[in-house]
Every structure is written in structure tokens, then in C-alpha cells.
Chains A and B, each alone.
Chain A
Amino acid sequence: MEQKPLTIYENMQLRGYSRRDFLKFASWLAAFIGIEASGVGNIVRAMENKPRLPVVWFHFQECTCCSESFIRSSHPIVSDIILDKISLDYTETLQAAAGKQAEEALNETMKKYRGEYLMLVEGSIPTDDDGIYCCIGGRSALDIVKEAASGAKAIVAWGSCASNGCIQSSKPNPTGATPIHKIISGVPIINVPGCPPIGEVMAGTIVHLLAFDRIPQLDGLGRPKAFYSRRVHDTCYRRPNYDAGLFVESFDDENAKRGYCLYKMGCRGPVTYNSCGVIKWNNGVSYPIQSGHGCIGCSEANFWDNGPFYQHLASFPGFGIETTADTIGVVVGAATVAGIAAHAVSTNIKKCKMINQAINDTNSSTEKEEVKK
């Protein structure tokens, strides 16, 4: 029996949400996606008219913190409607179906909506040893991703795992963990990095896709510009302390109490692109820097390898944990000065000899001349 799929609005009505709730939701979304007030109408119209977009959500090498973050996204309608009711045809962690039934649901969606469904991926893909380090239903993650991607309209890589490899791909990366964009080509991929990404950022990205049927504007690393175009540092409320050169020197000092900048405690805000300073976490309650801890740069590639977290610069591989470029620089500089000193001394010894010899030569030649006379 084929029936016309319900729109988002119709689904919301079925769940008992009022028109007022719906409109509030639409403007909340518009604010997050970063479109102006006049664009709210577009979102409303889209949700009233567009049938549901089928969505499959995969979990591979991950910890499910992305899903956790998503279902805590501050607006209940997001998890309630988008995730639970409307769109999700397959997701290992939340669906009721299991085993064979679950796999069937996935296959059916992939067949029926080929080229139309949205593919969300949480987790990286192990590629070493034929991908045996992550298998679901007897198939490797690599296989599953390739098959699903071939019929997907677009892929959203959730979190740092799927968009840059996160901890699984940190050195020495024993399973060959690889982010999606290095495996799949030919399908638009949206990277939503973070460990986890902010729930509202995830919701905003999804809703943009659902409502506009278009890929949001992306930056050079495939991240939605609306959320990743500014550094945490650029929106940090401690920034005036940074500019004034007021820094926390240790976590238990007076400066920490005063709320000075955490730059010298290794804060990665200046090199991290994310919306933490604006949207914050847990319904806007706080974010790491507000809680007194520097940003660890969890939405940046290789952030695990750029450690230690409490140092401004990374340690140098092969030189011990505490050695930064400066330590090495000072040692090389000192060695250079020592070398130069030695060189200068020996130059002078040589030069003295030469001068003496030259003087002797002239002396002896004048002597000779005198003798001749």
C-alpha cells in the first residue's frame, strides 16, 4: 500500500504540537542556521510541503557521543520529530528493530529511495586488514559505507571521527581508521566535526538539508560555514584578557580566579573553528573555557596528536614529552654560538701566525736589503 509520505508539519501535528509550537520551532531553527528573519517563511513552507526525507544513520568506530549530543540538542522537537518519528529509517543505537529486521529496513530504504536518502555517519572507518576491525551483520564498515554512499543524496559526517578520524586515527592508528571524505568521492559530504559536535549545530545542519534540500555553504574543509567560520578565540568572552596580556599561569592561581585568558594553559581557542563561544553547551549553560579549562580543539584534525593539551605548542616527536620547539631552538642556538666561538678562536690563532710570518718576511727582506747595502 503506497501512501503519500507525511510532511514534517503533519508529523508534528500528529504528535500533538500546536501551530504556535511549530512556528516557534521554525524561527529557532532559522536563528541557528543563521538566516535572517525573512527566511523563516521559507523554513515554514518547506516543512509544510516537503515530504519526509529518508535518513539512514550509521555507527562505526565511535563512542555514540554524537548521538548523545544530538538528542540533548536544546529543542525537544529536534530529537522528537526529526530523529524519532519522521525520518530515521535506520540507526543501530536507537531503532527498535534489531538483527535481520534492522538490516532489512536499511536495504529497503536504500533500494526504494536510491539517490534520495540522506546518509549520516558517526564514526571512522577502519581500512587496515580489509576493514575487519569494525563489522556489522558480518560485513565490514568499509563495505557498508561504500554501498550506502553510492545511493546517497548527501553524506553528513558526524563528529571528529567521521570527519577527521579523531582518537582512532591518532598515532599510531592501529586499525587504519579513516574519515569518510578520504574514502568516498562523488557524493557531497558535509563535515560536522567536534567530539562531539554541538547538538544545535547538528540539528541546524540536518534541518538545513531537510528544509532547503540544499547543501549548506561549506568552507575549505567541508564544514558548514554558519557554524565553523569563526575560531573559538574570536567569540571568547575572555578575549579582552588575551589582548591585555592577562594570562592564567597555573590552574590554581589568582589569575584563574579572576577569569584571565587560558592561552598559556594550552588553550586551543586560537586554532579551533567552532561555535562553542556562541551556542555553548547543554542548552547554553556553559562551555569549557567558561568552566575554567582551555579549549582542547576537539573539532580540529589531529587534536589528539597535537598534545599535551596543557602546552601552547606540541611536543616534538622523538624528544620527550616536555620538549617544545623552543627548547630545541635554544639548544641549537647555544651549540651554534659555541661552534662560532671555537671557530673564531682558531681563526685568530691562524691569523696571528700569518701576520707574524708576514712581519718576519718583511723584516728579513729589509734585513737582506740592508745587508746588500
Chain B
Amino acid sequence: MEKAISKKVYVWQMPVRLYHWVNALVVVTLAVTGYLIGKPPALTSGSEASFGYWFGTVRFVHFVAAFVFFFNFLFRIYWGFVGNKHADWKNFIPYKKEQWKEIFQVLKIDILQVSNVKLKSVGHNSMAGFTYFLTFLAFLFQSITGFGMYSAMSDAFLPNLFSWIVPLMGGDFAVRQWHHVMMWFFVIFAIIHVYLVFYHDYVEGRGTISSMAGGWKFIEKE
């Protein structure tokens, strides 16, 4: 076992961290409220409609969270162009040979559980970056289908930018169905994501978990 002496690096800037936690909060909110919208429990029975509005409230929360989610997402894209090198959009798309090399290294660490390689990247490793790219595509899909559905009940400008998805997918039913299916992507993603963060922190000892709070990681001195 090599004896590593750590060096502190500032990786996640404040806006990135803020984005991350806002996103975590609203995605959980969206998944929970979305699930309730798809499968409302039989909460109140024997009551009159004029006494309650809980389902309307659940939908309202979904929509508010949706708007926050959408603008937060746009903000992150913007930050991918103006933020530091760890936040740069280029980290998310494996277009260089090195990135593919690192993807295989990460797979080795994660699946074969050999951790003798030290990853070159300090921010997202290439595998994580690529996964987040897929996640961004899922964000985009949820936003388009969500606002597409929303446009039926709104004359506002923003939702109606997405109304084209409804005829494209063959009707609201299909849009709703796929919007619902995609929720599961987020659930599965969240499970794996949280686990892998702990795992990498555990085997690499670089402070992956706390980095999203304070921004600093600890890497080995050469």
C-alpha cells in the first residue's frame, strides 16, 4: 500500500453545488409527486369534493418543482460554458481517446473492484460524466414531455414551446406514458448514483461525498 499524502483541490464551485442540491431536491419532489399523480392513493373517502384539494395540490407542487427543475437545468448548461474546468461541458461527452480509456478504468474499479489505478480526472470521472450526459438527455426528455402535457392547460409562452411533442408522439396518452416510464430512470439513477458516490469515496479516499458540500477534494501528491 502506497502512502499517499493528500493535496487539497477546489473542484466544485458554489453554483455547481447549489445546482446539484436544488436539482436533487426537485427531482425527488417531481418523482414523488409524479408517482402520486399516476397512482393516487385512496386517501379521503366519503367526503365531498368541495372540502378537499389534495390532489390539486400535489399537481401544483409537481408543476412548481417542474419550473424550478427546468430553469436550474438551463442554468447548469450555461455554467458548463463559463464555469471552471471541472464544470465544463466537455467533461460530459467522451470524444477523446483518454476519456474512453478512463471509462474502462472506472468500469474496472466498479465491477472488478481493483483500485490500484489512480484516476486522472479529479472532477467527474469520464464514466460519470458520460452518465450525467445521458441524465441530461433524460432531463430534456422529461422537460419536453412534461411541458408538452402542460401546454394543454396553459396559454403561457414557455409550455407552448413544447406542444409539438404531442402530435409527434401520437397523442397525449403516449406522452404521459413515456413521461411516467422515464420517472423510473430517475429512481434507478438515484439509487446507483448515491451508492457509487459512497463507493468511490470508500475506495479512493478522495472525499467524493463531502466535495458536493464544501467543494474540495483531496488528491494524492505525486
Contact = CB atoms under 8 A, between A and B. Distances in A.
Interface of A: 220-221, 231, 234, 240-247, 249, 254-255, 263-264, 268, 270-273, 297, 300-303, 306, 312-314, 325-326, 328-329, 332-333, 336-337, 340, 343-344, 346-347, 350-351, 354, 357-358, 361
B191 A336 contact: yes
Interface string B40-57: 101111111111111110
B23 interface: no
A240 B56 CA distance: 9
Interface residues of B, number: 48
9 contacts: A220-B163, A234-B152, A240-B50, A243-B49, A244-B49, A246-B44, A271-B173, A302-B173, A313-B38
A301 B48 CA distance: 35
B38 A326 contact: yes
Contacts of B152: 231, 234, 273
Contacts of B167: 220-221
Q: Which 7 A-B pairs have the closest CB atoms?
A: A245-B55, A329-B184, A271-B172, A244-B52, A243-B56, A240-B49, A358-B1
A302 B45 contact: no
A217 to B, nearest CB: 15
Contacts of A361: 1
Given A231-B152, A313-B38, A325-B181, A340 B171 contact: no
Contacts of B153: 234
A245 B171 contact: no
Given A245-B44, A264-B40, A340-B192, A325 B184 contact: yes
A361 B54 CA distance: 63
Contacts of A326: 35, 38-39, 180, 184
Nearest to B189: A336
B161 interface: no
B84 to A, nearest CB: 31
Nearest to A326: B39
B191 A247 contact: no
Contacts of A332: 184, 188
B177 interface: yes
Nearest to A339: B192
A268 B172 CA distance: 10
A180 to B, nearest CB: 16
Contacts of B75: none
Nearest to A357: B1
B177 A242 contact: no
B38 A333 contact: no
A343 to B, nearest CB: 7
A326 B40 CA distance: 13
A350 B44 CA distance: 52
Interface string B181-206: 10110011001100100010011000
A240 B199 CA distance: 48
A342 to B, nearest CB: 11
Contact of B173 (A234, A241, A297, A329): A297
Nearest to A325: B181
Nearest to B36: A245
Nearest to B163: A220
Contact of B38 (A243, A247, A312, A350): A312
Given A243-B56, A264-B40, A336-B188, A301 B170 contact: yes
Given A220-B164, A245-B40, A340-B191, A351 B49 contact: no
A302 B166 CA distance: 13
A328 to B, nearest CB: 7
Nearest to A231: B152
Contact of B184 (A273, A328, A343, A350): A328
B17 interface: no
B202 A249 contact: no
Contact of B171 (A271, A325, A350, A351): A271
Given A245-B43, A255-B45, A325-B181, A343 B191 contact: no
A306 B178 CA distance: 12
Contact of A247 (B42, B164, B173): B42
B174 interface: yes
Contacts of B42: 247, 249
Given A264-B40, A337-B191, 4 more contacts: A243-B56, A244-B47, A244-B48, A347-B199
B52 A245 contact: yes
B62 to A, nearest CB: 13
Nearest to B56: A243
Given A254-B46, A351-B202, A244 B55 contact: yes
A276 to B, nearest CB: 15
Given A220-B163, A313-B38, A243 B53 contact: yes
A326 B177 CA distance: 11
Contacts of A357: 1
B176 interface: yes
B44 A244 contact: yes
Given A302-B170, A313-B180, A351 B40 contact: no
Contacts of B171: 271, 300-302
A351 B114 CA distance: 10
A314 B40 contact: no
